[in-house]
Structure 1
Amino acid sequence: MDPTQPNRLNAKSTSSSQESDWEIHDPSRCDSKNIHVHQRGKFFRGAGRVLTVRGGSSLRSLGGRDIAVDLGTANTLVYVRGRGIVLDEPSVVAMDVAKGIPLAVGHEAKRMAGRTPDHIQVVRPLKDGVIADFDVCEKMLRYFIDQISGSRWSKPRMVICVPSGITGVEQRAVQEAAEYAGARKPAFIIEEPMAAAIGAGLPIQSPHGSMIVDIGGGTTEVAVISLGGMVASQSTRVGGDLLDDAITQYVKKEYSVALGESTAEEVKVALGSAWPLQDEMYAEIRGRDLVTGLPKTVTVSSVEMREALEEGVSSIIDAVKSTLDQTPPELAADIMDEGIMMAGGGALLRGLDQRLANETGMPIRIAVDPLYAVARGSGQALEEFEVLRGVLFSSGNQY
């Protein structure tokens, strides 16, 4: 580890017992050379996870196929019909400010954040689940589509995810960005909680009530689903990004140290929790001293990080409770029997399932591979287009 570089993390445990696994789900979220985790007295190195095309085919061989896009605030995932999820990249673009052209997209662009000269700007074109920069979002989508199709002449049919709480104008902006990027008109829309429910394996067409809580980078989507529709729902603009910012603000306030975005995310992954841990941990974090301007190392604990995340976690729980309050008694009884399903990256926050169970009195389940639930569900809507066409929207109308 280079001791001259700021914004690095070393995590250690306060006790020693049996070792457990440690995994970083996205290689862009943690530089494994710079995160060394000591958990329960054992040493682990962050393990990067790279998504590859299934079946051994290259991305360029998938031209002309229908695709589903989970256009997330933090990450964009692409599902190709008949192949599954073939692309998982951060929703980040590095732009040449003077020329207005993208220099890097996805993982490469994210690695440039905080390290660029003045003429290069690293942009996240989505904020709180909606498009914040239309032109950059269109360029990013075009890049991803070109990566898959291999040709701008190919116009795949596209299903694209949006938060349930966005306006008609915001929804149309997503459709237009997809169409300008090369999707066949019209681009179809699926609401994220519906896609997450499908991807998590919930019986959405059944008269039996199911509840999904999808915690993404920009929003948390909560919905009760029955007979192919959302009976009660709530979308709150609280997600992983807000939790990262809460950590940044806490360290700034308590230690007068500035952290970069990637470091705050690494701290959240390493130490973040919503419920007391059996073995509390601590970490040495390197940032910039706001007084001297020099690199500075401070030690923070998982207890402190839980305090930092409390407001955001409480907002998520309030959204769940509010949705339950809107739920008809018959469906509420179903949910009590079957439990609440959690999906999205936020579902991986330590102890959030325990906290939610304690606050609601409901059993809590976490979807298999929750980071990919929305993309899987969107893809299933493609695979079973005629069966699930009722959950899709086109040009503002349900298909």
Structure 2
Amino acid sequence: MFGIDIGVDLGTANVLVHVKGKGIVLDEPSVVAIDSLSKKVVAVGEEARRMLGRTPGHIVATRPLREGVIADFDTTEIMLRHFINKSIGKSPFKRPRVMICVPSGITSVEQKAVIEAAERTGAKQVYLISEPKAAAIGAGLDIFEPSGSMVVDIGGGTTDVAVLSLGDVVTANSIRVAGDKFDEAIIRHIRKEHSLLIGERTAEEIKIRVASVFPHARHEKLDIRGRDMISGLPKTVTVESEEMREALQETVDLIVAATKSVLEQTPPELAADIFDKGIVLTGGGALLHGLDRLLQQELLVPVHIAHDPLFCVVKGTGIALDNLNKVSRSLLNKKTTSNVVQV
């Protein structure tokens, strides 16, 4: 079977796969569990995520992507091959065209690692597209018009901020501060203020159910359990929204500063368009309570959360693959190899 087009949002926290004609067919955590004794893969995706922090010593559940880029090449290849096979079936005759999203600040070495990992899964042709461009397309912005559009894509490992016009990025900034850093900030705060050790999953639950980054915008409480640093025994404490705002302030300020920097570098005519249309937030981080209001207050520009922000990037890859004639001139890896194209 030929002519299969696959869009992949290769995220630090989750991998999403879009198959042409079928839509989004896979959304699983970017986690692989490996038996360190036999060196065999035990589980991938959701099954592996459930093992995080709960495995015997010889089974290691890891996330092979860190801060938006490949930290463990071999494990990433295994994970990508597993997800592609799960999405389209395993067959030597199925050699898809694959478009993968990467952070706008990715280096050439990091690009090469992504390309090689995709090629080794059997891809017929590999395309790279910058995450903010895919996010903008997936959010429904017409970036091919001679008008400025601005997107802030907050994923698990990176936040990508970009102004786009005529199908290309005009000005952009990518910082390695996003959902994972929110979790780390919460863990640090709980350890410092409550002498309690908690894991990533508890931190994420706090972020979703309690946290807010805009003053007095939310009034939730949550009882959490962890290990007391003094006694070493299980302990329960209660956390509140305003406390979490203080815990997250320093991290969120970095995202505000990055967004402000891009806006300040934007040509005046395009900046005027953005003041009219507003900024669109995409990615899982867009759902952080109060972030849209905080950005609007700090930047004095309307800020909107995209519809289905978690899926904007992967939807954008699918649309981009259907419109390669429009986007191919601005793909990232045009000059890399004969079967690799950058969008």
Q: Same fold (TM over 0.5)?
A: yes
How many angstroms does 1:152 deviate by? Answer: 4.1
For the Cα contact (< 8 Å) 2:211–2:240, is it kept in 1?
Answer: no
1:393 aligns with 2:332: yes
Aligned counterparts of 1:101 and 1:231: Cα–Cα separation in 2: 45
Q: Give CA-to-partner distance per residue, 1:290-315, whole Å, 9 cap, x none.
A: 11111000111111111111011100
CA distance in 2, matches of 1:372, 1:390: 24
The unaligned stretches of length 5 or more in structure 1 are: 1-61
**Separation of aligned partners in 1, 2:105 and 2:299:** 23
2:135 alignment counterpart: 196
Aligned to 1:171: 111
| Contact 2:218–2:241, Cα closer than 8 Å, also in 1 | no
Please state how far the C-alpha of 1:239 moved relative to its aligned partner: 0.5
Alignment pair present for 1:213 and 2:158: no
Report the TM-score when normalising by structure 2.
Answer: 0.95
- Structure 2 residue identity aligned to 1:165: G
Separation in structure 2 between the aligned mates of residue 95 and residue 64 of structure 1, nearest angstrom: 33
Q: CA deviation at 1:386?
A: 2.2
Query: Which of 327, 334, 353 matches 2:273?
Result: 334
- Please report how far the alpha carbon of residue 393 of structure 1 lies from its aligned counterpart in structure 2 after TM superposition: 3.2
- Tell me, yes or no, if the aligned pair for 1:63 and 1:149 is still in contact at 8 Å: no
One-letter amino acid of the structure 2 residue matched with residue 355 of structure 1: L
Distance in 2, Cα, partners of 1:321 & 1:387: 29
CA distance in 2 between counterparts of 1:372 and 1:338 reads: 21
Query: Would you say how many aligned residue pairs link Structure 1 and Structure 2?
Result: 337
Letter paired with 1:293: G
Q: Name the structure 1 match of 2:97.
A: 157
1:312 to 251, 266, 281: 251
The match for 2:123 is: 183
Residue matched to 1:266: 205
1:174 partner letter: V
Task: Give yes or no for contact 1:96–1:120 (8 Å, CA) kept in 2.
Answer: yes
Residue of structure 1 in register with 2:221 after alignment: 282
Q: Is the 8 A contact 2:224 2:236 kept in 1?
A: yes
Deviation at 1:64, TM superposition (A): 5.8
Are the counterparts in 1 of residues 225 and 236 from structure 2 also a CA contact under 8 Å? yes
Q: Mark the runs of 5 or more structure 2 residues left unpaired by the alignment.
A: none
The 5-angstrom pairing of residues 65-214 of structure 1 reads 65-153=4-92, 154-184=94-124, 186-214=125-153
Tell me the equivalent position of 1:33: none
Contact 1:145 1:182 in 2 (8 A): no
- Cα deviation digits, residues 251-292 of structure 1 (max 9, x gap): 000111000110110010011111024451211110011111
1:180-222 Cα distance to aligned partner (Å, 9 max, x none): 12212x3110000000010011111111000000000000000
Q: Given the superposition, is the C-alpha separation of residues 265 and 164 from structure 1 closer, same or farther in structure 2, using an over 3 Å criterion?
A: same
User: Relative to structure 1, is the Cα distance of residues 300 and 346 closer, same or farther in structure 2, using a 3 angstrom cutoff?
Assistant: same
Distance 2:153 2:46 in 1: 23
Residue of structure 2 in register with 1:359 after alignment: 298
Confirm or deny: 8 A CA contact 1:194 1:391 kept in the other structure: no
Structure 1 vs Structure 2 CA RMSD: 1.4
Identity of aligned residues (%): 57
Q: Hey, what's the Cα distance between the residues in 2 that align with 1:88 and 1:391?
A: 27
Which amino acid letter does the alignment assign opposite residue 209 of structure 1?
Answer: G
Query: Residues 169 and 328 (structure 1 numbering): CA distance in 2 closer, same or farther, change over 3 Å?
Result: same
Deviations 1:37-91 (A, max 9, x none): xxxxxxxxxxxxxxxxxxxxxxxxx986210100000000000011111100000
1:113-168 Cα offsets, whole Å, 9 max, x none, are 11101110001000000000000000000100111222141211100010000100
**TM-score normalised by length of structure 1:** 0.82
Q: Distance in 2 between matches of 1:88 and 1:63?
A: 24
